[in-house]
A and B are shown apart, each in its own frame.
Chain A
Amino acid sequence: MNLVLSFKMRKRNFGIAAFSGFLALIFSLSLPQYANPVYGEKIVLTQPNGIEIIGYIYGDEFHRRVETEEGFTVILNEERGTIEYAIMKNKRLVPSGMIVGIVSPFYLQRIRFPKHLSDRSYQIAEIRKKSPEMLHELSSFQDKLDKKVKAQALTGTKKAFVVCVQFQAEATPPTQWSSGAYSPSGFDTRIFSTGAGNISMANYYKANSYNQFWPVGYTHPNWVTLPQTASWYKQNGSWRKVIEDAMDMIRSADPSFDFTLYANSGELNLILIWAGTRQTWGTFYWPQMSSSSLYKYGVTVKYYNVVNERNSDGTENTDISAFCHEYGHMTGCPDLYDYSSFATPLGHYCMMGWSNYSTHFCGYIKWRIYEWVTPTEITASASFNIDALGLASASNPRLYKVNIESPNEYFLLENRFNGSDSNYENYSYRWSGLLISHIDENYPPAVCQPSYPFYGVEAVVPVLNPSITTLSSYTAYYDNMVFSADYGYTRLEPAYPDDQPPGAYLTLTYSEGVEHVIYRNTQGHTKTTEIHFINIGNSGSTMNLSATTLTYAISGTVNVPSVSSSKKVTAMPNRVYVSELQRRLSDRSKKNSRTMAKYGSFLGKVNKATGLSGVVMSGLPGNPSTDASGFYSVIVEYNWSGIVTPTKQHYTFTPLSRTYSNLTSDQLGQDYSALRNIYAPLNFQGVKVENRSLLFREYINSLSWQSNPDNVDIVKYRIYKIEGTGRILVAEVSADTLNYWDIGVEKDTHYEYALCAVNNENREGAFAYLEID
């Protein structure tokens, strides 16, 4: 009873004391952190008059929002100490003056008071502005990933050191309690126990890694009393000071205590449990992971996790979720939720998107971060079986990969079946089925970039409809991000809805019909191929699906005229088979990276030696032009037909055009040979003249012409005499000679001539003709 009274008093006091911390969203921490998100966790708040309020908290250490059961956002009125319904003012939440518990929610509903208000985006933006290093934003995640890929997989065991700390007593500690009440041994069990059936962080990692990895370590057996109060540390805003003091206290109690025994090559991975609860309104005492360069007693505290001892109601925090999530950061995982919008692109299908131990890591984390599973690449049309990602042992692949823009853009397919791991993959509120996630490693996993309003890791959500264009709509579908016949979602195909721009939509066929769904991830991609997944079966420990592989390979040759200065013969174009395109496509075809594409991509090269730029590929959608290297590419719709004709002034192409009919495959290497046109000389004319001395005479056909200004690299002209159907070379003259005398012709004979320019490749151009009587 006393305990209960005490608890309530503490909560009342806490409600007032928390005023000072509510607006403290700007942190003094200097090192980047990884957050621990909660989504709608139930908490109890107390008004100054003792009225208890049930709230649901959303947020992490950066920002939190509390809603009532009805969805109205509430906020602490700093001046009055009351918890009030919130309104938005200047992008920020402010108290409305309507006190929760006094103003009826029915009244609010009647006046249509806004629900689910949040100023998270504004507050995060402020943090990003003032202390961007805190958010880390994963902007350098790709670098980390690259390093990770080069490093070894996370296997075996890794040491961690756990210490529980309590504070000096004070009247209203921000943690509600200053002293620890629950035995550190309990935390030790929940963190390190590998006993069969035990719910522990070690077993979570063991299950996720298929027995390849789990943390081991040591938990200090006693609560370590820090020299300062919880408020003092909060005011100083320094977890580093907490850690330093904790280590000092341990050493002062036992001077022989050797921290190096619990370090990994001198690096101490520290898990610190503080006495008391998280702060509801404040920001310091919230589970998080960060890094430091603290060197003390022979070890460097490389990473540290901090987690609360108690829940908001004072009970022991026995949930391992926060430990598992934060230890994920400690071992290299990014957050898979958006700090700004709080959106979770993978919904409830990954530990790093929401902190809940009943969910395995997603396939992306298991493969790219930890390398516990290697995806099987789909390279041909076929039916596939996929075992659940949570199964301890599997006879079929657990993860499939379908390349889009290899190597950085691809789809991952994973079977997320509730119960496949009874302890850690068994979130019953969630649909079971095939999770199809789109990965684009060119972008951070869960941070939208201004130029790319999608996430680097994002689920293709089957239930979206075309009217939904923002991720805020994802919230309702966090549990429904999988495909399965159980719910009628058996097919995922791309299409172009009539009323929407191309490239961003999929046709979704389900039990009630067909509709177009937004395929958010492909928006803005010019080279995205469309992917067909069909015959997606029922959920189960093994699922089946069919993938239609439509590789649109285009291959061809590049004709480059040969230039020979040593031989005065007519040179014919040599055939050259090497081009940049072919190299690109070779790589692509080797990896067989395109699968199930409904859109074909045209890839080719219009070459004149090293490639010709500015060639318009008439007939292709958008009439694309070749780039500086002569390369062109375009996406066309599945079953596309058309005639493509390369055009550029003064050039002739071989072939003149290509005809495509009902495309069902990529057309790689659709190359053309480009030859600079050599036009006929202008004003080719002639006359028969008498040439005589006193006693002799002869007749001459005097020919003349003008150079064609559209010609380049002309080195000479050739004059032919046409006799019958044949052509006899009469003469070659240099390019600066624009006339010729055919001497000794007969006076009364009809003559026909043909004249052409010859370029520096010894290639003849078009003929001009002339008749002389």
Chain B
Amino acid sequence: MRTERALLPISRLIEEEAMKRIFIFCLAIVLFSSLAQAKFLIEAKGSYFQPSDKNFKQVYNSGKYTEWISYGGEIGITLGKGVALWAGGSYFNKKGKLTFTEEETTLQITPFYGGIKFRSTNSNVSPYLGVGVGYFQYKEENRINSISKADIGYIGQAGLLFRLGVFIVDFQASYSYCKVKPVDVEANLGGFQAGIGLGFEF
């Protein structure tokens, strides 16, 4: 079985650097919110994932639609004037078939995001837009090869947040983009997602 052992030190460096940045970003949010007495948001969500890479669709196109759901969570802090900082992550796992031999292959994508949102705060219904940077961990295993690696991607969000007291219902759509080429095949791990989140804001 071939692996990309030779690349591990570099990816580990990138990974460590990204983690470092996200940690600093989150720390800044916490510190900033404490200073401004901002509102906090926490939610759990599930989204239907529609990859944008056609090869992704071809290889992992089998199975029920529920297998295309990624699960995740998000936290955020409203800084005032509709600006909020947010961070989140999700988990996506799917089985597919090699394109010719139809042997089994598995893919696991675990992205972590962080970014800024802009939302209306005048009513209990708040539409919002957001952008962020993502740290995409991925793993694919099959008879040809297997790999476990991470790479940086991007995400854009749009949604509608309903407030019922401290409870929130978040209808969200997003588009992510993360182009990777661990060996010799280039692929985009991102795509369109649409889902719903439930949580609290206080």
0/1 per residue, B39-64, Cβ < 8 Å to A? 00000000000000101100110000
Residues on A with beta carbons closer than 8 Å to the beta carbon of B140: 693-696
Q: Is A171 an interface residue (CB 8 A)?
A: no
The 8 Å CB contact of B100, one of A691, A694, A695, A696, is A691
The segment from B19-27, B69-77, B142-150 that touches chain A is: B142-150
Which residue on chain A has the smallest CB distance to residue B141? A693
B144 contacts A691, CB within 8 Å?
A: yes
The 8 Å CB contact of A696, one of B56, B101, B142, B180, is B142
0/1 per residue, B174-191, Cβ < 8 Å to A? 000000101111010000
Q: How far, in angstroms, from A489 to B185 measured CA to CA in the complex?
A: 104
Q: Is A697 an interface residue (CB 8 A)?
A: yes
A700 contacts B142, CB within 8 Å?
A: no
Q: Is B37 an interface residue (CB 8 A)?
A: no
B187 contacts A695, CB within 8 Å?
A: yes
B144 contacts A697, CB within 8 Å?
A: yes
A695 contacts B147, CB within 8 Å?
A: yes
Q: Is B124 an interface residue (CB 8 A)?
A: no
A690 contacts B99, CB within 8 Å?
A: yes
Given contacts A691-B101, A691-B144, A741-B101, contact A696 B96 (CB under 8 A): no
Q: Is A746 an interface residue (CB 8 A)?
A: no
A745 to chain B, nearest CB (A): 12
Residues of A737-766 contacting chain B, CB below 8 A: 741, 743
Residues on A with beta carbons closer than 8 Å to the beta carbon of B55: 692, 694
Q: How far, in angstroms, from A692 to B55 measured CA to CA in the complex?
A: 9
Q: How far, in angstroms, from A689 to B100 measured CA to CA in the complex?
A: 7
Q: Is B98 an interface residue (CB 8 A)?
A: yes
B185 contacts A695, CB within 8 Å?
A: yes
Residues on A with beta carbons closer than 8 Å to the beta carbon of B107: 693-694
Q: How far, in angstroms, from A702 to B100 measured CA to CA in the complex?
A: 10
B143 to chain A, nearest CB (A): 9
Given contacts A696-B142, A696-B144, A697-B144, contact A691 B99 (CB under 8 A): yes
0/1 per residue, A672-708, Cβ < 8 Å to B? 0000000000000000011111111110101000000
Residues on A with beta carbons closer than 8 Å to the beta carbon of B33: none
B60 contacts A698, CB within 8 Å?
A: no
B98 contacts A691, CB within 8 Å?
A: yes
**Listed residue (B56, B60, B185) with the most chain A CB atoms within 10 angstroms of its CB:** B185
Q: How far, in angstroms, from A693 to B142 measured CA to CA in the complex?
A: 8
Residues on A with beta carbons closer than 8 Å to the beta carbon of B98: 691-693
Which residue on chain A has the smallest CB distance to residue B53? A694
**Listed residue (A691, A695, A696, A698) with the most chain B CB atoms within 10 angstroms of its CB:** A695
A693 contacts B96, CB within 8 Å?
A: yes
Looking at chain A's contact residues, the main secondary structure is: strand
Residues on B with beta carbons closer than 8 Å to the beta carbon of A743: 101
A710 to chain B, nearest CB (A): 33
0/1 per residue, B96-122, Cβ < 8 Å to A? 101111000101000000000000000
A747 to chain B, nearest CB (A): 11
Q: How far, in angstroms, from A689 to B147 measured CA to CA in the complex?
A: 23
Q: How far, in angstroms, from A691 to B60 measured CA to CA in the complex?
A: 14
A694 contacts B60, CB within 8 Å?
A: yes
Q: How far, in angstroms, from A509 to B20 measured CA to CA in the complex?
A: 125
Q: How far, in angstroms, from A741 to B98 measured CA to CA in the complex?
A: 14
B101 contacts A694, CB within 8 Å?
A: no
Q: How far, in angstroms, from A696 to B1 measured CA to CA in the complex?
A: 12
B99 contacts A696, CB within 8 Å?
A: no
Which residue on chain B has the smallest CB distance to residue A741? B101
Residues on A with beta carbons closer than 8 Å to the beta carbon of B96: 693-694
Given contacts A692-B185, A695-B180, A695-B182, contact A700 B100 (CB under 8 A): yes
Q: How far, in angstroms, from A694 to B109 measured CA to CA in the complex?
A: 12
A741 to chain B, nearest CB (A): 7
Q: How far, in angstroms, from A75 to B60 measured CA to CA in the complex?
A: 119
Q: How far, in angstroms, from A691 to B55 measured CA to CA in the complex?
A: 11
B141 to chain A, nearest CB (A): 9
A287 to chain B, nearest CB (A): 104
0/1 per residue, A641-667, Cβ < 8 Å to B? 000000000000000000000000000
**Listed residue (B55, B100, B184) with the most chain A CB atoms within 10 angstroms of its CB:** B100
A694 contacts B187, CB within 8 Å?
A: yes
Residues on B with beta carbons closer than 8 Å to the beta carbon of A700: 100-101
Residues on A with beta carbons closer than 8 Å to the beta carbon of B147: 695-696
Which A residues contact B (CB, under 8 angstroms)?
A: 689-698, 700, 702, 741, 743
For the complex of A and B, 5 pairs with smallest distance between CB atoms:
A691-B100, A693-B105, A696-B144, A696-B145, A695-B140
